[in-house]
Structure 1
């Protein structure tokens, strides 16, 4: 449902709330970033959606605090920061970013101005990245504020919020980049349906399969699986392995270079491939 709303608002915004008849600034990327992405209704819709998803974590935080006290609350925070259901929107968001703009003619109109393809591509991705940043900040802030409200210590809460908020943002960037790759490989409903399938696979099916099948060797196996949700799950389990124990320090959180690499490297690969596809695409 969320992805379809994003698709419709994207198509409506093809008519653009800003006038494409006006000259495009020579700074290109910044002009697109401000005129298209930030003014898009899907930008605001995503931020609101993440706030709602964070609100749904309230029940689990309450439960862990009631039964296990402050240690239980702190051990739950990294898991709550993994971004429940958010990838199901982010991947389709990326999957409709390029092909919808090509199909409705927005790209052709923009490129008739003094803009290059890389300006459009980079501007669109920067705009979506900013939406992810604001959504992630809202998500993490809600969980942190509520945790402090019910009794979590401020210093430890701040530490966990910074670390796992950053990990969530890198995870969502990977989903977005994969969506951009899908957007350059296929059109319309095919891209959207593929994105929804991959979001389910990477966010639910693969992590569940790996955790249940390789529990004893989870940390070593996860290094080879490009699933952001799995990497977040593994890091969360390493930090807070027991709901009765407080999480470890930030230094120990980040002492998992293989898992961190699987959050960052696929993002760069997906972006590079999607740019190569878009650069050679027929936009007519």
Structure 2
């Protein structure tokens, strides 16, 4: 496993996808902080600062990072088949589970490094804007990016399944994009509509009830979407108008947190079963 981790880590750091990932993080964070400051939007509390980070993740950051994580996994196995890396690796005393596990851990390390950079940029940007800098801001920023890391790991694992099912890495990229559009954009929109359709023409609508209905539908029907489960968790960082923190929100939504972790195990297990039966000649 150590051999596979080292090989994949070096390989990943040389690929354009990783540097595109880092570039997008910079483009999404740095100009965003500048524009917010120019518009006079200075966060006065840790809660307001974290909300600013959350809005970035729930908008463009989550979208682009989700696609890139899925693409990273979708080309993990088939590209090694195309260039012969797998055959060379398995000619050594390396088992398939060790090879796949090492590759997966390498992707986790790469994503972790990228998100640590994202955390540092976020904290520096918020401090520059005038947010109250301290241990609480650092802790909340790290917890937020920890959740995002778990979500991205799940998408990488889902990409592994595609990579073991589609031999051409180019075809897998197209399939991953189509899958992302259907599973993570189209279906969530349909589920959200189904959750709120009974309240559309209700003049006396209770918005707390609507929010609870949306969360219920998201948990039940979008169990496979880590970004959607993140949205449910982050929706509870406030209670009665007071910021209670991300750790409290995770504790309040154990099912949603469990789905993020559990579906990663399911996806990786499915990918290993496929990989174990693959003809690697």
Shorter-chain TM-score: what band? 0.7 to 0.9
Distance 1:55 1:247, change over 3 A: farther
Does the Cα contact within 8 Å between 1:47 and 1:132 map onto a contact in 2?
A: no
Task: Report the number of matched residues.
Answer: 254
Unaligned runs of 5+ in 1: 1-28
Q: Which of 157, 181, 196 matches 2:137?
A: 157
Correspondence 1:35 to 2:35: no
Q: Which of 214, 219, 225 matches 1:218?
A: 214
Query: 1:201 Cα shift?
Result: 3.5
Output the CA distance in 2 between the equivalents of 1:129 and 1:142: 20
1:121 alignment partner in structure 2? 100
The normalised TM-score by structure 1 is 0.79
3-state SS of 1:153 partner: coil
The normalised TM-score by structure 2 is 0.80
Does the Cα contact within 8 Å between 2:12 and 2:107 map onto a contact in 1?
A: no
Distance 1:170 1:185, change over 3 A: same
Output the CA distance in 2 between the equivalents of 1:73 and 1:168: 17
Query: 1:129 Cα shift?
Result: 1.2
Query: 1:33 Cα shift?
Result: 1.6
Which is further off, 147-156 or 65-74? 65-74
Task: Give 1:1-284 correspondences, 5 Å limit.
Answer: 29-42=1-14, 45-46=17-18, 49-61=21-33, 62-63=35-36, 66-67=40-41, 69-71=43-45, 72-82=48-58, 83-84=61-62, 85-154=64-133, 155-188=135-168, 189-215=170-196, 216=210, 217-224=213-220, 225=222, 226-239=224-237, 247-254=243-250, 255-284=252-281
Does the Cα contact within 8 Å between 2:238 and 2:245 map onto a contact in 1?
A: no
